[in-house]
Each structure stands twice: as C-alpha cells, then as structure tokens.
Amino acid sequence: MFGQSMRIIGGRPLQKVYTIIALICIVVFLIGTTVYILVSRNSESRYANCRAGQVAGNIGGSFSLVNQDGIIVTNEDIITEPSLIYFGYTYCPDVCPLDSYRNAEAVTILEERGYSVTPIFITFDPQRDTTEVLKKFTSYMHPKMIGLTGSIDQIKNVAKKYRVYFKKQNNEDLENYLVDHTAFTYLVFPKTGFVDFFRRDLNAVQLADKVSCFMN
C-alpha cells in the first residue's frame, strides 16, 4: 500500500497538478495583460482629443531630487496633482524666466477656472542654482512653484527620462556660462505620469486651455 501511494504521488496525478497550476498562471497572466492593454488604450483615447499630435515612446519616470527647502523628495512626493514640469536654470538670460512666468500665469488662470495645478522647475545648473537661489526664483514666480536640484548625474538621469537636451557652454569659466537646452513644458498626472508636452510658442491662456482639456 505504501509503495503504491508513493507511485501515485510521484506519477501522473502529480503531473496533472503541475499542469493545472501552470494553466492557472497562464490564464492569470493573460487576464492581467489584457486589462493593462485596455486601461492603457482607454487612457490614450481619453486624451486623444486634447493632443495636437501622437506622442511616441515612453516619456518621464521616477526620480529623486532636492527641493528648494533642501529636502530630498521623489516624484511621488511632489506630483500629487496635475503638474507642469519645466527644465531650465535661473541664470538663463531670457527663455527660462519667460517660460517659467508663462507657466506660473497659466497655473493662476487654471486656479481661477477651478483647477489646481503645481508648477515645477528642475534646474540644469546645480552648480549655481543652490537651494537658496531656487527658493528666491520659485517664490517670485508662483507661491506653489517647486524648485528641484541635485547632483549633475541625478539631473542628467531625469533629463534623459523626459528626453531633454542640455549642454553647458564655456566650461573653462566657472561662473559666467550659458546652458544650451530644449524648452518644453511637460504635463504629468499622479499615477498616470506623463500626459503631454507643450512648446514655448503658447501664451498663458493657450497653455491653460490645453491643460484644462486634459483635466475635464
């Protein structure tokens, strides 16, 4: 009897158990994949009417930087509502302050319409953009604006995720130099992540109109 029990446990009945478990795992995997695809398609279709064109590939992602108060924060800490992310530097002579002011003005317009949006400024220039400098800059632009800095490697990592280009000029001069960079503003939502990007040719009202479309 004992020998027969051992043969049954080690034979076909046990193989059937393994087969059933494998089939269950496959079914669960297929269901999960289907749900993910349906949710992704639903999200894309929901925003399709708001986008000017198709966004190819993945943009954005997780990061850890230092805010204007010197506190280490992650994307989950600061992106708690729809947010406008802009990459620049405070010593920028024209483009960055103009774009940042435009973004701040758009946030104010959205507030008047009943929408709450956080403006975020990520510096390319951690050498000069200390937390103190960022705090003055962001508080001047908008009371809700968050300034972020970090090591140059951390900033490069975030810039890569958002497909942002930047390159420091005049490397021999440690104090007076410019930084070449792209100038886009990125709309991100909590959990959803990147939603769309906006060029700098939009004025504050136009930007607010674009953002509010995604929030309706």
CA pair distance 78, 149, nearest whole angstrom: 13
User: Side by side, which strands form the sheet with 72-74?
Assistant: 72-74, 64-67, 146-149, 118-123, 83-88, 185-189, 193-198
**Residue 28 confidence (pLDDT) above 50:** no
Nearest CA among 182, 180, 181, 184 for reference residue 207: 184
For 161-190, the pLDDT digits (tens) are 999 999 998 777 778 899 999 999 999 999
Q: Does residue 26 have a pLDDT over 60? A: no
Q: What is the pLDDT of residues 39-68, one digit of tens each?
A: 344 445 567 788 866 666 689 999 999 999
- On whether the 64-215 domain is CATH 3.40.30.10, my answer is yes
Mean pLDDT in residue range 131-137 = 98
152 pLDDT higher than 80: yes
Pick from 122, 108, 134, 105: nearest CA to 60: 122
**More confident of the two residues 40 and 205:** 205
pLDDT recorded at residue 47: 76
Give the pLDDT score at 13: 59
What's the pLDDT score for residue 14?
Answer: 57
User: Does residue 34 carry a pLDDT above 60?
Assistant: no
pLDDT at 4 over 60: no
More confident residue, 26 or 98: 98
Q: Domain residues of the chain, as ranges?
A: 2-47, 64-215
The pLDDT tens digits of the residues spanning 64-118 come to 999 999 999 999 999 999 999 999 999 999 999 999 999 999 999 999 999 999 9
